Amino acid sequence: MTAERIIIETIGWTGAALILVAYLLLSAGRLGGQSRLYQWMNLVGAACFVVNSGYNGAIPSAVLNVVWAGIGLFTLWRIARRPA
């Protein structure tokens, strides 16, 4: 396995871990769906999946995760605009 391939796989597994831990914390009631941390975990996790799936030619997965990241960005924007 090449160094490039190891890096891409590490990025993919990191994304998977972030999204799974975010969902676990949400399901356990430790984070809310509108929390910045939850949204950032999903956004970064999706970005990692875009890199991994794009590299591997899994275009449907890459597109899904671009949309997933977009939802996270939009939600973070809405959270930032909320009155204090």
pLDDT in tens, 5-15: 999 999 999 99
User: Mean pLDDT, to the nearest integer, of 20-47?
Assistant: 98
Query: What's 45-79 look like in SS3?
Result: HHHHHHHHHHHCCCHHHHHHHHHHHHHHHHHHHHH
Residue in the structure block whose two tokens are 């676990």: 24
Residue 47 binned pLDDT confidence (cut-offs 50, 70, 90):
very high
pLDDT in tens, 69-84: 999 999 999 999 998 7
Specify the pLDDT at position 73: 97
Tell me if 49 sits within 8 A of 61, measured CB to CB.
Answer: yes
Give the C-alpha separation, 32 to 5, whole Å.
35
Specify the pLDDT at position 5: 97
- Tokens linked to 46: 């999706």
- Tokens linked to 59: 């275009």
- Tokens linked to 17: 């871990």
Q: Where are the domains of the chain?
A: 3-81
pLDDT above 70: percentage of residues in the chain:
100
